[in-house]
Amino acid sequence: MFKKILIANRGEIACRIIKSARKMGIQTVAVYSTADQNSLHTEMADEAVLIGPPPSSQSYLLSDRIIKACQDTGAEAVHPGYGFLSENAGFAEALTDLGIAFIGPNVHAIRMMGDKITSKKLAMEAGVNTIPGFTGVIENADHAVAVSQEIGYPVMLKASAGGGGKGMRTAWNDTECRDGFERASNEARSSFGDARVFIEKFIQEPRHIEIQILADGHGNVVYLGERECSTQRRHQKVIEECPSPFLDPATRQAMGEQAVALAKAVNYQSAGTVEFIVDNQRQFYFLEMNTRLQVEHPVTEWVTGTDLVELMIRVANGEKLPFTQADVTLDGWAIEARVYAEDPFRNFLPSVGRLARYMPPPESDTVRVDTGVIEGGEVSMYYDPMIAKVITYGSDRNQAIAQMCTALDAFYIRGVSHNISFLTALMKHPRFVEGRLSTNLIAEEYPDGFQGADIPDEDPSLFVTVVAAIHRRYMDRAARISGQMPGLERQVPNDWVVFMQGEYYPVHVTPVPGGYDVNYQDELYAVRSAWEFGQPLFQGTVNGADICVQVERRYLEYRLTHGGAQVNVLMLNPRAAELHRHMPVKLPPDMSRFLISPMPGLLTRVAVQVGQEVRAGETLAVVEAMKMENVLYAERDGVVAKVLAATGDSLTVDQPIIEFE
């Protein structure tokens, strides 16, 4: 077995690989940019080598620097993780030529499957179902329109070297096709250095289901069930699960056997994933093959009882697979939720900054957290904004969902915006719970963006009773101030009013051993907890049921977060509540005359000038963030009064770009 391997990656996947290598007794070498100097993966590894400045094009994508790090440290093999150089055939070939093992498939398989056009042709030859489309290279926008008209709208334009939702656009007509071709080409060039785009038929009401395969160098290939990856936003996976609530055994077997056939066609070895689009009749079509470890691999590991990273290492070392297809069974259910540094209340704009507080839920036999950050660390603008992956397990799907809801409630992050509230709301959404999934679920259920989960109007009792107990605890402490005159000590009243979301809720709070009894609407709620002042998680029971509520005291208010809902609460005595009803409401300033930047990013284009008349829907500016081009359109007709930012400027959130008359 290898004595030392180098991980050519960063973040959570680098940490994940280090854990398996450590379990196997293998020493590890981390590589890092100057932005990652104090990151978790550099601390976990036995050695760490600096390879360049923050931009990945000057560090993690430079194969020569990673190869030199191998030579300098004596690493015998390289695990590329996912992203960066994981599917770069030239990198794998250079390592192999130097006698350094590449923990992944052979160069031929990477080349054949890494190009979406070539891979589709090979899939057809291997007898794999494929989507109708044009597999040649699209020359320009006019060519794209002609091809799309022949295939029939809607169509999907995709970067040939693409992945992760980059370089991908859906078009429903000629205008969208032209614009989509330009955007897809630009993003493909920026992200992959390859501007080629191809077109295929867009399958409506699709599911995205992928098959995990594993192959060794001795001709053995198995499939480890499927992963349901349909819960996506803008082609980016959000929730993944194993198995799929949609597949039946016959479809699972057919998909698995086609995935194995494709792997054998390219003499594949190592872990890989064959992705399929599945329609509502369980007809499935080949999408692409990822010749690497997937982000969502933990759900397969949990349900099949395997360690895919360890198996990849063993295969790269020449070992045979330790099991056959007949040995593969799916036991239980696992779900993964991706926690990103993004603001779901601002159309999921990326967030960067320091993790002032970072408290993931405790891991157990039903909860796993894969992360690459620590409290005090930075979420950098240079890399993917993933903070962590939460994976939960249950004997069935409902148990896995319940475990996920509990884990997300206990995940406390401050310093950057995050999507935990959105993930929790998704877990509780009736359509998700019922398993009625498609890649359009989020777009259909949240057409105007995510505004936060609602507290049930008919029963806000959990929030009302918990905040009443917390406030009474604070008041009891305040009443113990020293220097009070004997016989005139402050007496804390039992009657309070909870003001929340414009409503007033009277409560009666009585201290009892271990907590408080809260009388709300003539019902008694026993709130019990060992919560201490300053703790961000209020964990305990309400009428015997376990609860976990995130709580922050913010001057006169409390901010509570639970079940995807976040509310600001004001606690008042009865007289103050009477007066509060007459307080005027301060409205936010009117920014309707300005085009403001919805995210931090680089202003790559200003499409208008002072005095120009613009029409609703017209392009005003383009902002690049996280290697994605974001086009800002005019919401209504107007005349440009001032241009407040120039091409090349680095923008902050809400920075004005254009002012209108």
Annotate 151-195 with three-state secondary structure.
Answer: HCCCEEEEEEEEECCEEEEEECCHHHHHHHHHHHHHHHHHHHCCC
What pLDDT is recorded for position 253?
A: 97
Domains of the chain and CATH, by start: 4-103 (3.40.50.20), 132-201 (3.30.1490.20), 207-445 (3.30.470.20), 461-478+493-580 (3.30.700.30), 594-660 (2.40.50.100)
- Summarize the confidence of residues 36-51 as an average pLDDT: 97
636 pLDDT higher than 80: yes
- Summarize the confidence of residues 429-437 as an average pLDDT: 95
Which residue among the candidates 200, 288, 296, 336 is catalytic per the annotation? Answer: 288
Strand segments (E) across 356-471: 357-359, 367-371, 378-379, 386-394, 412-414
What pLDDT is recorded for position 452?
A: 82
Residue range 175-210, pLDDT digits in tens: 999 999 999 998 888 777 888 898 988 887 899 999
What pLDDT is recorded for position 458?
A: 59
Give the pLDDT band (50/70/90) at residue 163. Answer: low
DSSP letters along 461-496, please? HHHHHHHHHHHHHHHHHHTT-TTPPTT------SEE
Strand partners, 569: 500, 558
Strand segments (E) across 281-385: 284-290, 333-340, 342-343, 349-350, 353-354, 357-359, 367-371, 378-379
91 pLDDT higher than 70: yes
Give the pLDDT band (50/70/90) at residue 348. Answer: confident
Residue range 567-607, pLDDT digits in tens: 999 999 999 999 999 999 888 888 889 999 988 888 999 99
- Summarize the confidence of residues 110-116 as an average pLDDT: 88
Strand partners, 548: 539
629 pLDDT higher than 90: no
What pLDDT is recorded for position 335?
A: 98
Lowest mean pLDDT among 8-17, 461-470, 574-583, 628-637: 628-637
Residue range 210-244, pLDDT digits in tens: 999 999 999 999 999 999 999 999 889 999 999 99
Q: What's the rounded Cα separation, in Å, for the pair 463 and 450?
A: 21
What pLDDT is recorded for position 74?
A: 97
CA angle 75/80/86 to nearest 5° reads 140
User: Which two tokens mark 499?
Assistant: 């003001």
Residue-averaged pLDDT of the chain: 93
626 pLDDT higher than 90: no
Give the pLDDT band (50/70/90) at residue 371. Answer: very high
Which residues, 6 or more positions from 636, have their beta carbon under 8 angstroms from its beta carbon? Answer: 616
* Closest by CA position to 416, among listed 158, 653, 88, 156: 653
Give the pLDDT band (50/70/90) at residue 120. Answer: confident
Query: What's CA 585's distance to the chain center, in Å?
Result: 36
Q: What's the rounded Cα separation, in Å, for the pair 77 and 96?
A: 9
Query: Around Cβ 154, how many Cβ atoms within 10 Å?
Result: 16
457 pLDDT higher than 60: no
Which residues, 6 or more positions from 233, have their beta carbon under 8 angstroms from its beta carbon? Answer: 348, 442, 443
What pLDDT is recorded for position 541?
A: 97
Give the pLDDT band (50/70/90) at residue 456. Answer: low
Q: Is 288 a catalytic residue?
A: yes
- Return the amino acid letter for 361: P
Q: What percent of the chain stands above pLDDT 70? A: 99
Query: Around Cβ 477, how many Cβ atoms within 10 Å?
Result: 11
140 pLDDT higher than 90: yes
What pLDDT is recorded for position 247?
A: 96
Q: What's the rounded Cα separation, in Å, for the pair 222 and 326?
A: 9
pTM of the predicted structure, to 2 decimals: 0.84
Query: Around Cβ 376, how many Cβ atoms within 10 Å?
Result: 12
- Summarize the confidence of residues 532-540 as an average pLDDT: 95
- Summarize the confidence of residues 382-390 as an average pLDDT: 93
| Sign, Cα dihedral of 490, 494, 500, 505 | negative
